[in-house]
Amino acid sequence: MTQSVLIADDHPLFRQALRLAVQHVLPDATIIESGTIEGAAIAAARTEGLKLILLDLKMPGAVGYSGIALLHAERPEVPILVVSSSGPEAAAQARAFGAIGYLHKGSDLDAIEAAIAAALANPVPSPVDMQEQPVDQVRATVASFTPMQLKVLLAVLDGQLNKQIAHRLDISEATVKVHMTAIMRKLDVRTRTQAALVARSLGIDLRG
């Protein structure tokens, strides 16, 4: 089976740099590129032989760490290596939401290639030292959401009503309510407003 790598970044020049790094590590790999989280999620779900996802945090359609959570939900068996310009605090957060590692965009090509090789050689994330704090338990819960649950939660964060969410996701309002019920149960809250507050407290709604 052909090995594939997904590069999700909204900057064409940086996607090209990542492509060069992947080609050096996996010369025969099929490389898929996406400039949006929505496109990346579709590609992740459909691509056979996917071995690695390279992801920028700040992309159209993503807020905070939602891109990691969404792609991890689509393909939990595929390692996600975050390559982003976010600050050092993003590294632990990225791993908590399902990424195998974090690399700053300022890293040189050799470092990026080494990180890609390491992710391919050890695709199982190392345990993150969370010390079982309540916020860490909730973060792990969000990381375990299904793709549709995450999409519904992101729409709620965007201030959309059930009717708007149903239209956006091409599902019925009844289905939206089912997902919201599951989300609130998993987060142990009683209202969608509380669910949104919990999500924001985890950095999912951080922009910029």
Strand order in the sheet with 4-8: 30-34, 4-8, 50-55, 80-84, 101-104
Boundary of a domain, candidates 76, 96, 121: 121
Partners of residue 7 on adjacent β-strands: 33, 54
Tell me the pLDDT tens digit for each residue of 168-188. 889 999 999 999 999 988 888
Describe the crossing of helices 173-187 and 134-143 by its angle, rounded to 10 degrees: 150
Boundary of a domain, candidates 64, 92, 121: 121
User: Cα torsion at 141, 143, 148, 152 (round to 10°)?
Assistant: 70
* Predicted confidence band of residue 134 (pLDDT cuts 50, 70, 90): low
Longest dimension (CA), the chain: 51
Q: How far apart are the first and last CA of the chain?
A: 39
Tell me the pLDDT tens digit for each residue of 32-70. 999 998 899 899 989 989 999 999 988 887 777 778 888
At residue 200, does pLDDT exceed 80? no
Cα–Cα dist 91/89, whole Å: 5
The tokens describing 96, both together, are 């908590």
Q: How many CB atoms lie within 10 A of CB 131?
A: 6
156 lies in a domain?
yes
Tally of domains within the chain: 2
14 lies in a domain?
yes
Boundary of a domain, candidates 72, 95, 121: 121
179 lies in a domain?
yes
- Can you give the residue range of the structural domain that contains 62? 4-121
Tell me the pLDDT tens digit for each residue of 90-123. 887 788 778 888 988 888 889 999 999 998 887 6
